[in-house]
Each structure stands twice: as structure tokens, then as C-alpha cells.
């Protein structure tokens, strides 16, 4: 079975889903709950209330991008809500937008993902330092940066092979 562009991008961007579980307690009134770990992989959730399986859309709806679960009826007071799902770095919506912007060119899409991750790591480091926290994500940043440079180098080599030096040089004007 061939992978879809979305699956291929998720694979190449090292966005491997990781399973997590979260518990909530109903109060008989509240219908909306939020995951702390989101976005989640589409259709990966399993939700039970007091051990009874819930189904989408009969019992609830879910926004995979924001982690918002909305129940049709408020879970009973002291009802135990168990949610098991797979979290991802990029939502399907985000990856589909990246695919669209890059005309489904997986290599360009991976580069865009890595660029965004490098910016995110830089922001986290600045926030952590400003708050006096000892979080050092520099090793992660260096790994992402190395991956970015390796892919970019392969892209450059591919451009030489595909269209020659002159074509590659013209395309580089966009980055000057």
C-alpha cells in the first residue's frame, strides 16, 4: 500500500505518534474537556465513561488540532472519563497546509517543518532563560539544525543533477 503525501511527510518529518492517556471527572453539567497533549492523530482516540465506550459523533465530537472534546450530554457527576489517544507534533491541518504551500514536494515540506521547529526551539530557550529556568534544548536544536542542513544540501545536489548549475543559481536569487 502506497503512503499518502500526508503520511509520507509525517514519516519524513519524524512526527511519530506517541500514545498518551488522560482522565477527567464529570460533574453532570460540563460538556467540554481539553487534552493537555495535542494535536492528536486523527481518529486515534478511544474514550470511555465509567468503562463504557463512547463513539464519535454519537456521544462526542473532537477537534484534533486543539484537543477539545465536546460531549453530546454532560458526563454524570463523578463519572470517570478516560481518553487514550496518540499525540503528534503537527496536526493534519497544519501538514496539509504545508503540503499545499509546497505543491506536495515532500522535501520542501520537511524543510519547512524543520525550520518551524528550529524557530520553536529558539523561542523556548529564550522564554526559559528569561524565566530563570534551567531548560536547555540546545542539543535538540542542534539535531534539528543538522537535519535541516543535510536535507538542504541534498536538495542543492539534486538541483545540480536535475537542472544544472545555472538553473540552481537562478532559484537561489529568491533567498538573497
Q: pLDDT tens across 20-75, in order?
A: 999 999 999 999 999 888 899 889 999 999 999 999 999 999 999 899 999 999 99
Average pLDDT value over all residues in the chain: 80
- The average pLDDT across 132-140 equals 58
Give residues with Cβ within 8 angstroms of 55, minimum separation 6. none
Beta bridge partners of 78: none
The H or E element that residue 54 is part of is: strand 52-54
| pTM of the model as a whole | 0.65
Identify whether the C-beta of residue 98 lies closer than 8 Å to the C-beta of residue 112: yes
State percent of the chain over pLDDT 90: 41
State percent of the chain over pLDDT 70: 70
Name the pLDDT band for 90 (thresholds 50, 70, 90): confident
- The average pLDDT across 109-121 equals 81
Report the alpha-carbon angle 36-8-35, nearest 5: 10
User: Which position has the higher pLDDT, 137 or 17?
Assistant: 17
Is the pLDDT reported for residue 146 higher than 90?
Answer: no
Strands 18-25 and 52-54, bridge-based pairing: unpaired
User: Which position has the higher pLDDT, 68 or 169?
Assistant: 68
Q: How many CB atoms lie within 10 A of CB 46?
A: 11
pLDDT at 154: 65
Identify whether the C-beta of residue 81 lies closer than 8 Å to the C-beta of residue 35: no
Amino acid at each position: 500500500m502506497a503512503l499518502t503525501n500526508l503520511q509520507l511527510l509525517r514519516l519524513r518529518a519524524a512526527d511519530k505518534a506517541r500514545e498518551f492517556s488522560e482522565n477527567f471527572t464529570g460533574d453532570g453539567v460540563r460538556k467540554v474537556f481539553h487534552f493537555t497533549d495535542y494535536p492528536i492523530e486523527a481518529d486515534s482516540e478511544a474514550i470511555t465513561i465509567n468503562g463504557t465506550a463512547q463513539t464519535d459523533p454519537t456521544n462526542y465530537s473532537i477537534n484534533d488540532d486543539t484537543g477539545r472534546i465536546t460531549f453530546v450530554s454532560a458526563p454524570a457527576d463523578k463519572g470517570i472519563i478516560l481518553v487514550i489517544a496518540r499525540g503528534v507534533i503537527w496536526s493534519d491541518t497544519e501538514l496539509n497546509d504545508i503540503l499545499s504551500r509546497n505543491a506536495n514536494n515532500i522535501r520542501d515540506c520537511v524543510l519547512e517543518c524543520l525550520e518551524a521547529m528550529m524557530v520553536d526551539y529558539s523561542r523556548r530557550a529564550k522564554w526559559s532563560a528569561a524565566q530563570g529556568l534551567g531548560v536547555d534544548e540546545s542539543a535538540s536544536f542542534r539535531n534539528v539544525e543538522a537535519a535541516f542542513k543535510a536535507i538542504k544540501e541534498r536538495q542543492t545536489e539534486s538541483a545540480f543533477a536535475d537542472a544544472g548549475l545555472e538553473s540552481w543559481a537562478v532559484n537561489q536569487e529568491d533567498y538573497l
